C-alpha cells in the first residue's frame, strides 16, 4: 500500500473564494485524494486557511472586530463551504495556530544557526496619509516588465514576476490611493536563497513528473538568478520574530504559510483519534509520495522559497515530489477578482446548484494546458450533455426498466455471451487508461475517460435493447439487464472522485456502497434488490443561463 501526502494551496482568510480558487487547487487535490483512497493507498489530505498579512488586518478593522475573532469567523465560514463542496480534507487547519507559530520560529532559528539569515537595512515605503509602512501588497503601480497597471509590490499577477515596491512605475497606496509616498529606513531579515542555489538546483533536478508549466516557471527563476528573500514585515498580526531588536515585527506571510502544511498535520495529529504521529508523514518519512496542488501564481513560492526553507534547515523534512500547478480559470472573457467581486463565488455557486454540478464542470474543463474560460452558456451545455443526458440517463433508464419489468430485483438467469466479452475487454482498456490519467494527475483527461465509460455503457444498452429482447428471449434479456445494472455501478464508481454526493445516492440505490478499485461487471448478483434514485441532475434551461448572466454580469 502506497502512502500519499496531499496538500492544497492555502486559501486566504479574507473573503469567500471564487470558482477559480476551487479549480486551481482545492478540487484537483480532493479528486486525487479520493482516488488514492479508492485504490487503497494510505492517504493524508491537508489544508488550512492562510490567516496572516495585511489584508486580514485591514478587513478586521473595516469590520470593527478583533483580528483573531475575524480570522476565526472567516475560517469557520470557509470550512463550512468546503464541507458543502465535499472536499475530503483529513484536516483543515489554520496558519495562525500555536503549532504554526512554534514551527515557523523553529525553522527561522535553524536557518539562522546555519548562516542563511542576514540582517539588512531597507529603504521601505511609508505613507504619511495612511500613517504606516506599506507592505508590498499594498503598493500598486505599473509592472516594469509587462506594463500591467495594477501590479502589486510583491508580484505581478499578469506575468508572475517577483517585484520590489520600488520597482513599480508610478506607485501609489492601495489603501488611500495616495502617491505622496516616502522612503524611510527600516531593518529586516532576509533568507539567503542565493546561498542555497546549488542545493536547490540539485533538488529540482531530482524531481520527476512535474507539469511543464511548473518546471518552466521554476527554471525561469533559476535562470534569472535566485534573489534573497525578505522574510519580515512591519506588522502586528502574524508570527512574531524571535530575535532581539525585532520586537513588533512578524514574519512575511509567504514564509510561514507553507510551513502551515506541516503545522496543520500537527493539529490533526493532536485532535484525531488514533491518528499516526505527524512525523510519519514529514520527518524523514519512508516511501511517502508528497503532491502539492496550486495555481501557477503560487509556483515560485513552492518550487523555490519553501524548498529553500526546508533544505536550509539542515533537518530531514519531507520535500514535495510533484507540484501540480495549473493555469487560470477566467470568467466570461476576463479575470475572476475577489477584490472586485467579479465572477461566481463559492457560496453563490452552492446557492444555485448542488456541489457536483460545479465539481464535474471544473474538473472536465480543468485549466491544465492553458487558461480555461468559464461561461454560463458553456457550463449549462456541458452539464446537460454529460450529467443529465449521459450519466443521468444511464442510471434512470436502466434502473427504471429493472423496477418496471423485474420489480427492482436483479435477474439471475442466463449466461454472458460474446457482446459481454467484448464489453468487458473494452472496459478493461478504458479502466487502465483512466488509472493512467489519475496517476499522471491529468484530471481533464480522467474526466474525459469517465465520460467515455458512461457512453460505452449507454451504447451497450442501446445496442442490446433489453426492452425489445425481453419478449423473445427472457434469459438473454436477463443477462443484458444484469450487465446494465453492473454498468451503472461501474459508471458511478469511476465518477466517485468527481461527483461523490451523486455517486453516494446511486450506490445506495444499488444497495452497494463499495467504491473499491477495480470495478467489475459481476459485482452485483442476481436476486439483489435495487431502488430507483430520484432525479440526479436537472437540465439547465436557456432561461436559467440568461438569468445567471444578468445576475453575475456575464456577456
How does pLDDT run across 147-196, given as a tens digit for each residue? 999 898 888 878 878 888 889 999 999 878 999 999 899 899 999 999 99
Vertex 227: Cα angle to 222 and 161 (nearest 5):
70
Is a pLDDT exceeding 70 seen at residue 105? yes
Residue-level pLDDT at 158:
82
Q: Are 523 and 483 in contact (CB under 8 A)?
A: no
Half-sphere exposure of 470 (CA within 13 A, CB side): 14
Is a pLDDT exceeding 80 seen at residue 341? no
Alpha carbons 131 and 160: distance in angstroms, whole number: 30
Name the H helices within 168-301: 197-205, 212-224, 253-256, 259-271, 279-282, 299-300
Q: Comparing C-alpha atoms, which of 487, 327, 340, 331 is closest to residue 402?
A: 487
Alpha carbons 116 and 124: distance in angstroms, whole number: 22
Grid cell 533538488 is found at 203
Q: What are phi and psi of 447, to 5 degrees?
A: -65, -40
**What are the residue ranges spanned by the domains of the chain?**
3-104+252-364, 116-250, 376-509
What are the cell numbers at 467?
A: 426492452
Q: Are 511 and 528 in contact (CB under 8 A)?
A: yes
In this predicted model, which residue has the larger pLDDT, 186 or 441? 441
- Four-CA torsion 4, 451, 333, 174, nearest 10 degrees: -20
Per-residue confidence band for 432, with pLDDT thresholds at 50, 70 and 90: very high
pLDDT, tens digit, 9 for 90 and up, residues 471-529:
999 999 999 999 999 999 999 999 999 999 999 999 999 998 777 888 899 999 999 99
Complete DSSP assignment for 356-376: HHHHHHHHHT--SSS-EEE-H
Is a pLDDT exceeding 60 seen at residue 129? yes
Is a pLDDT exceeding 50 seen at residue 555? no
Q: Are 296 and 20 in contact (CB under 8 A)?
A: no
Residue-level pLDDT at 162:
85
Q: How far is CA 414 from the centre of its chain?
A: 46
Grid cell 515585527 is found at 249
Vertex 313: Cα angle to 323 and 240 (nearest 5):
95
CATH code assigned to 116-250: 2.170.220.10
Alpha carbons 532 and 390: distance in angstroms, whole number: 17
Q: Do domains 116-250 and 376-509 have the same CATH topology?
A: no
Q: Are 180 and 193 in contact (CB under 8 A)?
A: no
Q: How far apart are the first and last CA of the chain?
A: 49
Q: What is the CA radius of gyration of the chain?
A: 26
pLDDT, tens digit, 9 for 90 and up, residues 46-65:
999 999 988 898 889 889 99
CATH code assigned to 3-104+252-364: 3.40.50.620
Lowest mean pLDDT among 267-281, 300-314, 465-479: 267-281
Q: Comparing C-alpha atoms, which of 253, 371, 238 is closest to residue 305?
A: 253
Pick the CATH number of 376-509 from 1.10.730.10, 1.10.240.10, 3.90.1150.10, 1.10.3720.10: 1.10.730.10
Residues ≥6 apart with Cβ < 8 Å to 237: 52, 53, 56, 57, 67, 250
Vertex 455: Cα angle to 453 and 461 (nearest 5):
105
Amino acid at each position: 500500500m502506497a502512502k500519499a501526502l496531499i496538500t492544497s494551496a492555502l486559501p486566504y482568510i479574507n473573503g469567500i473564494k471564487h470558482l477559480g480558487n476551487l479549480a486551481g487547487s482545492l478540487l484537483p487535490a480532493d479528486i486525487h485524494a479520493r482516488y488514492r483512497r479508492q485504490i487503497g493507498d494510505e492517504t493524508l489530505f491537508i489544508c488550512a486557511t492562510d490567516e496572516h498579512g495585511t489584508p486580514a488586518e485591514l478587513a478586521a478593522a473595516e469590520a470593527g472586530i478583533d483580528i483573531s475573532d475575524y480570522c476565526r469567523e472567516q475560517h469557520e465560514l470557509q470550512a463550512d463551504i468546503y464541507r458543502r463542496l465535499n472536499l475530503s480534507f483529513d484536516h483543515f487547519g489554520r496558519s495562525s495556530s500555536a503549532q504554526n507559530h512554534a514551527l515557523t520560529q523553529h525553522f527561522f532559528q535553524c536557518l539562522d544557526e546555519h548562516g542563511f539569515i542576514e540582517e539588512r537595512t531597507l529603504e521601505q515605503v511609508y505613507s504619511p496619509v495612511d500613517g504606516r509602512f506599506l507592505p508590498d501588497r499594498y503598493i500598486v503601480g505599473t509592472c516594469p516588465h509587462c506594463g500591467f497597471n495594477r501590479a502589486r509590490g510583491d508580484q505581478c499577477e499578469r506575468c508572475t514576476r517577483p517585484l520590489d515596491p520600488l520597482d513599480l512605475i508610478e506607485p501609489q497606496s492601495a489603501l488611500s490611493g495616495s502617491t505622496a509616498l516616502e522612503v524611510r529606513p527600516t531593518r529586516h531579515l532576509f533568507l539567503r536563497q542565493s546561498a542555497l542555489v546549488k542545493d536547490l538546483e540539485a533538488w529540482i533536478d531530482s524531481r520527476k513528473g512535474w507539469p511543464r508549466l511548473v518546471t518552466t516557471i521554476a527554471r525561469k527563476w533559476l535562470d534569472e538568478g535566485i534573489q534573497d528573500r525578505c522574510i519580515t514585515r512591519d506588522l502586528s498580526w502574524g508570527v512574531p520574530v524571535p530575535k532581539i531588536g525585532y520586537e513588533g515585527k512578524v514574519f512575511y506571510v509567504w514564509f510561514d504559510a507553507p510551513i502551515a502544511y506541516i503545522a496543520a498535520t500537527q493539529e490533526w495529529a493532536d485532535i484525531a483519534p488514533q491518528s499516526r504521529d505527524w512525523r510519519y508523514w514529514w520527518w524523514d518519512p519512508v516511501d511517502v509520495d508528497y503532491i502539492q496542488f496550486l495555481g501557477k501564481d503560487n509556483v515560485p513560492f513552492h518550487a523555490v522559497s519553501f524548498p529553500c526553507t526546508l533544505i536550509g534547515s539542515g533537518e530531514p523534512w519531507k520535500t514535495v515530489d510533484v507540484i501540480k500547478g495549473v493555469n487560470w480559470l477566467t470568467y466570461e472573457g476576463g479575470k475572476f477578482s475577489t477584490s472586485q467581486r467579479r465572477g461566481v463565488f463559492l457560496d453563490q455557486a452552492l446557492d444555485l446548484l448542488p456541489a457536483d454540478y460545479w465539481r464535474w464542470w471544473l474538473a472536465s474543463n480543468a485549466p491544465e494546458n492553458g487558461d480555461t474560460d468559464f461561461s454560463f452558456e458553456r457550463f449549462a451545455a456541458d452539464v446537460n450533455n454529460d450529467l443529465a443526458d449521459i450519466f443521468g440517463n444511464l442510471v434512470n433508464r436502466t434502473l427504471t426498466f429493472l423496477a418496471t419489468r423485474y420489480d427492482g430485483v436483479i435477474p439471475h438467469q442466463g449466461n454472458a455471451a460474446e457482446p459481454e466479452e467484448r464489453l468487458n475487454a473494452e472496459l478493461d482498456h478504458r479502466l487502465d487508461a483512466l488509472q493512467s490519467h489519475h496517476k499522471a494527475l491529468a484530471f481533464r483527461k480522467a474526466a474525459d475517460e469517465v465520460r467515455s465509460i458512461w457512453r460505452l455503457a449507454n451504447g451497450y444498452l442501446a445496442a442490446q435493447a433489453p426492452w425489445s429482447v425481453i419478449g423473445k428471449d427472457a434469459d438473454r434479456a436477463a443477462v443484458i439487464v444484469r450487465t446494465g445494472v453492473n454498468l451503472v455501478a461501474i459508471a458511478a464508481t469511476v465518477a466517485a472522485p468527481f461527483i461523490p454526493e451523486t455517486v453516494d445516492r446511486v450506490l445506495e440505490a444499488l444497495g452497494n456502497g463499495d467504491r473499491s478499485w477495480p470495478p467489475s461487471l459481476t459485482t452485483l448478483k442476481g436476486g439483489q434488490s435495487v431502488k430507483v434514485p430520484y432525479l440526479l441532475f436537472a437540465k439547465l434551461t436557456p432561461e436559467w443561463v440568461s438569468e445567471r448572466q444578468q445576475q453575475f454580469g456575464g456577456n
